[in-house]
Every structure is written in structure tokens, then in C-alpha cells.
Amino acid sequence: MGHTYRAEIREARQRVSAVAAATIDTRWGRVEYVDQGDGVPVFLSHGVFGGHDNVRDLVDLWFGTQYRAIGPARFGYLGSTMPKGATVADQADAHAALLDHLALERVVMCGFSAGGPSAIQFALRHPDRLLGLILGSSYLPGMGARTVPTSVHPLVRSVAGWERGWWLLKQYWPTRLARIMGVPKGWDASRDPDFLAIRTSLFPVAPKRFGVAFDAVVSEPASNSFPLEDIRVPTLLVHAADDRLAPYECVPPAAARIPGARLVTIEAGGHLFLDHAADVRQATTAFVRDLVRQDGQDQEGE
């Protein structure tokens, strides 16, 4: 078991190292990111246990190959710094610093899962940098605890970074790991290539422990107080009705608070939209098409 474990983690680290990533230095520390492809720029704020390494794959899956895929490893993930005392607003401002570095005026911002809070904060703090906001399976107000006691923060980091424990789950209790990842109960995802690719991208776990802890104890609780009514950019929410990781019942009330927001409900597939990626692509591409057309009309009217 030890050899297999070590070999798989070594392969995971090699896979991440092989990604054509770049870094910038910001006032929050180092930010590692990818910028791949051409077309309308889609900035992906990744979910828990994610990273910059699967940004291109997720944009291809949920948007299509015709888009430029941009995304950082968020605070505390992989090669990106976890700043002391960081807030979700800091993470949003770090996203803006990356856009400045890339000389990008505006992007389509997509916040997936635990990447949703910083995407929402970006829309609140930097609306002029957005063509639009897409929240996919996003963490939203009402989905979790309002505060997490400081005393449990070290425990969260320890559990999050327990690489062998997560590997054991994958190896011997794959159904339990699938449930933790948001696969609906009774759904066999063992032969789903999209799910298996996302599961593979969870590893290596240890270099993500500070980011996972930040999401759990700072980012997600902070989302409960976000003033969604103040969002002033076109917004699309895409969420599966059977998502229990980011409970769907919280989504329609959140969407109703965002002026003019569209909500597309995917009938099934859970947190990862299993077997429904085409439905997600249909919703996102239609939304982006409208954004680009409206932006062109606005430019002509100026």
C-alpha cells in the first residue's frame, strides 16, 4: 500500500508541475495561475481542493474549447501564498491584480463551489472589470455556519492536509469520497470520465491544506453576510436540483436578491453536474453570447 500511495502522490505532483503555469508577486504574496487559449476570457475561481491545474479542463467541460481559460490557484492552494489574516475581499482584489498583470480590461467571472464567494466579492468590488458573473454550484448565503471557532482552525488544516487519509478514502471507500465530492446518493460515478478526472485533480492534497482551511473557516462563513442586492453586473446561477453539498434550497432565494439574475436549474447530476455538462454548456454559452452582444451594442452607443 505504501508504495502505491507514494507512487500516486508522486504522479499527482508531477502532473501539477507539468501544467504550463506562471506566477506573479502581489501585495498578498505569490499567485500561481494559468492563461490558456483564445476567445472570450473566462476567469475560473476554483472550488475546494481545486487549483490552477484543472482550470482549462473545467472551462472546456462547462463552457467549451472556444474560450480563453484563466485561473489562479487561490490563496493557500498549491504554489499560491496564504496571506496572514486574509479575507475574501483580499482574494477578490488579488484576482483583480492578476487581470492587471494580464492587461485584461474585462472578463467573464465564474465562481465554482467554494470559489463562488471570491467571485461574488469581485463583482461587488470590481464590477467594471466584468462582462458578467456566473455562479456554478456556488457557495451562497445560508449554506453553512456563520462563524467557525478559532480553536478548531488547526484541526481543519490537519484534516484537510491529511494526504494519506484522502488517498485511503479514494482507494478503499470510493463511494464515500464521491459523496463528499457532491455525487448524489445512489449515483454510480465510478465509470464517469469527467468525475474521475475531477477526482484525480484533488491530489496532491497537502499543498492545498491552507486554502481548504481558508475556505472552510473564512470564505464560506463570510458569504452569509454578502449584500447580493448590490451586485450590478449580469449574473447567471447554474445549480443542480439534487446538489446537497451546496444545498439547492438556498439558491432561489439568493438568485432573487441579485438584480436581474438568471437561474438555470439542472435537473440532476449533483454538485459536479454529472451527465449534464452539455446542459451547463448550453446555459453558459447562451449567457456569454448575450454578454458579448450587449457589450458590442454598448460600445457602439458610446
Give the pLDDT score at 54: 94
What CATH number should be reported for the domain holding residue 226? 3.40.50.1820
What residues have CB less than 8 Å from 30, skipping those under 6 apart?
23, 24, 79, 80, 81
| Residue 102 per-residue DSSP state | T
Give the pLDDT score at 159: 86
Cell numbers 505504501 correspond to 2
> Is residue 117 a part of any domain in this protein?
yes
Percentage above 70 pLDDT, the chain: 97
> Is residue 302 a part of any domain in this protein?
no
Q: Give the structural domain span for 231.
A: 2-297
pLDDT in tens, 6-51: 999 999 999 999 999 999 999 999 999 999 999 999 999 999 999 9
> Is residue 266 a part of any domain in this protein?
yes
> Is residue 291 a part of any domain in this protein?
yes
Mean per-residue pLDDT of the chain: 94
Domain count, the chain: 1
In angstroms, the Cα distances linking 82 to 35, 51, 52, 74, 213 are: 21, 13, 15, 9, 10
Angle at CA of residue 238, ends 234 and 244, nearest 5° = 140
Using the predicted structure, report yes or no on whether residue 166 has a pLDDT greater than 60. Answer: yes
Which band of pLDDT confidence, cut at 50, 70 and 90, is reported for residue 301?
A: low
Instruction: Report which residue type is found at 4.
Output: T
> Is residue 126 a part of any domain in this protein?
yes
Higher pLDDT, 82 or 302: 82
- Judged by average pLDDT, the poorest of 157-161, 215-219, 297-301 is 297-301
What average pLDDT score do residues 138-165 get?
84
Using the predicted structure, report yes or no on whether residue 110 has a pLDDT greater than 90. Answer: yes
